[in-house]
Amino acid sequence: MPEEQKSANLKTLIKEIGNKKGMKIKEVYAHFGMSSSAYYRTFEGPLNEKIAEKIADFLQLPVETVYQLHQPDSSQPLPTIEQLLELNAPDQPTDSTALNVNAQKNTSSQSKTRNAKVALFVVFCFSLMGLGAYNLFPLNKHTAEFHGQGVDFSLSAMDGINDFHVAMYHYEFDNIKVAIQDDHINITADIHTHSTFDPALSYFARFVASGDYLNGYAAVNYQMIAEPNKEVWIGVMMLRIGTTGHATGYWLTAHHDSPSPHEGPFAFGNVNLERLQSKINEAISEE
């Protein structure tokens, strides 16, 4: 039997299956990674194992059947093309029920994908809205006004404490404004200092402080800017200050105008702040 007749059934079946898959003959060649001439030369001799496996996968038939179709044994009858197509049919459903099932699966998959994208977009939008709202309307923000007093302590009177001043000043705090937002605090105030030694050393200063706030306590760094010469003092302060009630704390700084022969330059003192009653009444009325 001529070789072209031996392989006629196999080539015809490949073509028919390609048609069922909507493939043109050139696409069939490309599927097997061959040019048209190489494709036809493949059937002129024995099939190699890799080509046979590719054809079997394409036809959805056992590789033994592929070899049988390529070099048929005259003693065994070959199945007809129609029979082979029927064997291939389960993997290529054409009835309306199967098509509907596939369509429903595809629709369901597309719907799930679309819903997932929509959900992610909504979450993204809400995240942006949350960030915007946080910036526009800061959470946990509390403001209050106080007035108060403070004094220096004479730590130098204690044995072994030689780096501190004796008590030199007492202080009056006015127009104290406090803003607490989450874990941060800002404080501004007007301070009138009164020297216990020389009235000429009394002065007015602007107090500006900022720092950390945690569980009703504030740790701040501050500056006192004196008028009219703009001399600057720096220091640190620890306050117990809640969102209700009064406040108390202690500060540490360095004085550089100590009258001789007092030790120095460090100074330590306290501060006691009274929350303005008008603000307390406003807070109560808001509640």
Contact 146, 185 (CB under 8 A): no
pLDDT per position as a tens digit, 105-141 = 555 566 666 666 666 776 666 665 655 544 545 456 8
Residue 260's SS3 state is coil
Contact 170, 201 (CB under 8 A): no
pLDDT per position as a tens digit, 6-64 = 456 778 888 888 888 898 888 888 888 888 888 888 877 788 888 889 888 988 888 88
Mean per-residue pLDDT of the chain: 78
Contact 275, 245 (CB under 8 A): yes
Span 135-151, average pLDDT: 79
Its pTM stands at: 0.49
Other beta carbons less than 10 A from residue 53's beta carbon = 13
51: Cβ contacts below 8 Å, ≥ 6 apart = 32, 42
pLDDT per position as a tens digit, 158-171 = 777 778 878 888 89
**Tokens linked to 168:** 């030199």
pLDDT at 52: 87
Compare 246 and 158 and report the one with higher pLDDT: 246
Query: DSSP letter string over 3-63?
Result: HHHHTHHHHHHHHHHHHHTT--HHHHHHHTT--HHHHHHHTTSPPPHHHHHHHHHHHTS-H
Q: How far is CA 203 from CA 153, 248, 251, 270, 279, in A?
A: 19, 23, 19, 18, 29
pLDDT at 85: 61
Q: Of 33-37, 81-85, 272-276, where does mean pLDDT reach its minimum?
A: 81-85
